[in-house]
Structure 1
C-alpha cells in the first residue's frame, strides 16, 4: 500500500498521495510535522476502515436504510452500519477504489475513477476526477463528475487534521444552524439553531468529544469557494478551509482506534468535511445533491495554511 506514492512540492508545502482512495497521506508546512493522521495500513489494517485522507462517495455520509429514489425508482445501496444505514456508499465506495493517475506534475496530480451503472447501487455511468494542486501555502482540491443518467452525487474529502497537539485545537465555523441526528446518526430532517449549544463555533472554541454533525453553511453550493472553517492549533498554526459546499461535517474523532506504536487514538485528529447535507436524497427540504448529464458535479475546496498573528 505504501508503494506508488505521489509527492507534490510547491513553496512551503509538501504533500503525498496514494491512488488507493485518491488518498492524502501527508501534508506539511515548511518541513514541519505531518498535519494529517497517517499509519501503515499493513501493520494496522483497521486504520483504513476510518477513511483517513480518502475521497469518499459517490454519496458521502449516511443514507437511511441505504435507499434512494431516482425518477420514481428505489435504488438499494450497500448497508454497512449494522444493516441500518449506508455510510460513504458502502464497502466499495470511492475510498476503496484504486484511482487512475490521469495527470501528474511537480505541484499537481489528477486522479480519475470510473463507476459503472449500478456501482454502489446507484444509476449512471460516472466519470469522477479529483485534482490536488499546491499553490503557495494552499492545497486546492477540485472534484468534478459527469454522468449519463440522473444520480445523487455528494463527494467529500476525509483527512483527520492535527495541527500540533490535538488538545490545542480551536475551531471557528460561520454556521448559524446544524442538523440534529437520531440514534443512528441520521439527520432528523430538522434544522436547529447553534445558539447556546455545543455546535456554536461562530466564535472559536474547543470541540466536544461527541460531535459528528453537519453544520449548515448555505442552502446551495456556491460558485466560488467561501470560508467555511478556521482550525487553529499549537503555536498559532492555522488552517482556513474554503469551499463551494453547503455543509461541513465535523467529527471530533471520538471513535478512532488505538493503534499500538503510533500516536493515533480517540480524539487524536478532527475530520472537517465540506459536502452536501447528509441523507439529502431522502430529505426533500435539504439542498439537492442530484446531478444529471446536463448538470454535472463540481466542488472546490481549499486548505490554506499559515500562522495566526
Structure 2
C-alpha cells in the first residue's frame, strides 16, 4: 500500500437518480443527491477545511476502531494494548490520527464505483498492525448507495471501521422524520458513553424504536442498538412524508446519534449555515463499542488468516404526494 498521497481529490460517482461526491480525505461521503430533491441528503460542506475541524467525522470512514474504547486500553492476545485517547480518557473513532483524519489512496474508479485504501501503522496510536483497510462506494442501478469495507493484517489486531454519515431527508433538521430500528436490545452506557456491559431489552424504554418514532426522540440518542437477525438484512428505516431510506447491513450493531450536541460553528454546511443540534442522524453499522473489554460482546479481533468484511446499503423510496 503506498504512503498517503500528497494531494487530495474529490470524486463523483453517479447512476440512475443518484450521485455522490467522495473525498479522498477520510474516504468521506461529502454530498449525496437524489433527483427531485434540491438538497444533499447527507450533511457536509463545500469547504474542505471543515473536515479537519468540527466536521471531522461527517461522512467519513472512522476507525480502525469505531466508537469508544474505555481508557484507551483493551486486552488482546494475552496483553493490554494502549490506544491514543482523544475524548478525555477515551479512545474515540481511532483517536487523533484515525482513518477520518488521513488521506486515502484511489485504488480504482469508474462512473458508478470508487475503491479507496489506506494502511494504518501501530505508530498511529491505533491497534497493532500494519492494518490495510479498503472501502468501496458504489451506486447501484436503482440509485441505492452500497458500501463494502474490508480489513486485513499480518498481525493479530483489532478492526472495526465504520461509515459515519449524517442523514437528513428533509430540507433542514430532523423535525418531521420518523425512525424505526429492528433491535430488541440496546447497550446502556455510563456518563462517559461507555457501555456498562448490560445487553438490555428495549421494551418499556425510550429506546424502543421498533415502530416508527418521531424525531427528535424522547431521549437523546448516542446509542448502540443490538440488531436482530444475522447476515445481510434490513435493519432500520428513516422516513419523511416524501422519502424513505432503508438501511441494510450484515453488521451486528447500529450506532444511532441524533446530533443533539452538534455545533459546527464557524464551519458552514451545504445549506450555507453552521449545523446545530438535531441537524441530521448518524446511522453507523458496526461491531459493538468497547467490545474488547466485554467478553460477551461480538469480538472485534482480527486474526492473520481472516479478512474483515462489512457490507451496508442505503436505499431510497419516494412516496406519492397526494
Does the pair score TM above 0.5?
yes
Aligned partner (choices 269, 272, 278) of residue 283 of structure 2: 272
Comparing 200-209 with 248-257, greater Cα deviation is found at 200-209
Aligned residue in 2 for 1:65: 71
Q: How does 1:212-291 map to 2 (within 5 A)?
A: 212-218=222-228, 222-223=230-231, 225-233=232-240, 235-259=241-265, 261-262=272-273, 264-291=275-302
CA contact (8 A) 1:41 1:47 kept: no
CA contact (8 A) 2:243 2:316 kept: yes
Separation of aligned partners in 2, 1:3 and 1:148: 28
Task: Describe the SS at the equivalent of 2:55.
Answer: helix
CA distance in 1, matches of 2:206, 2:151: 35
- Consecutive unaligned residues of structure 2, counting only runs of 5 or more, are 1-6, 267-271
2:276 is paired with a residue whose SS is coil
Q: Residue deviations 1:88-117, cap 9 Å, x none?
A: 010100001100000010000000001124
Q: Which residue of 1 aligns with 2:108?
A: 103
Q: Give the Cα–Cα distance (whole angstroms) in 1 for the partners of residues 304 and 123 of structure 2.
A: 16
Give the match for residue 128 of structure 1. Answer: 133
Alpha-carbon separation, structure 2, partners of 1:150 and 1:218: 29
Shift of 1:24: 0.2
Aligned to 1:42, the other structure's residue is in SS state helix
Q: Tell whether 2:190 aligns with 1:182.
A: yes
Which runs of 4 or more aligned residues in structure 1 lie more than 6 Å from their structure 2 counterparts after TM superposition? none
Q: Distance in 2 between the 1:18 and 1:249 partners? A: 23
**Residue pair 1:258, 1:266 contacting (<8 A) in 2 also:** no
Name the TM-score, length of structure 2 as normaliser. 0.89
The whole-number CA distance in structure 1 between the counterparts of 2:96 and 2:274 is: 26
TM-score by length of structure 1 reads 0.93
Whole-angstrom CA distance in 2 between matches of 1:214 and 1:37: 21
Distance 1:236 1:47, change over 3 A: same
Distance 1:237 1:271 in 2: 17
Match of 1:93 in 2: 98
- Length, aligned pairs only: 303
1:143-222 paired onto structure 2 within 5 Å: 143-164=149-170, 165=172, 166-207=174-215, 208=217, 210-218=220-228, 222=230
Whole-Å separation in 1 of the counterparts to 2:179 and 2:187: 18
Could you tell me which residue of structure 2 aligns to residue 47 of structure 1? 54
In the alignment, the residues of structure 2 paired with residue 44 and residue 295 of structure 1 have an alpha-carbon distance, to the nearest angstrom, of: 32
Q: Distance in 2 between matches of 1:258 and 1:116?
A: 30
Between the aligned partners of 2:92 and 2:72, the Cα distance in structure 1 is 8
Question: What is the aligned-residue RMSD (CA, Å)?
Answer: 1.9
Give CA deviations for 1:235-277 in whole Å, capped at 9, x if unaligned: 3311101001000000000111153551511110010101001
**Distance of 1:278 and 1:118 partners within structure 2:** 22
SS in 2 for 1:91: helix
Distance 1:275 1:42 in 2: 27
Gaps of 5+ in 1: none
Secondary structure at the residue paired with 2:139?
strand
Distance 1:148 1:55 in 2: 22
Aligned residue for 1:78, secondary structure, equals coil
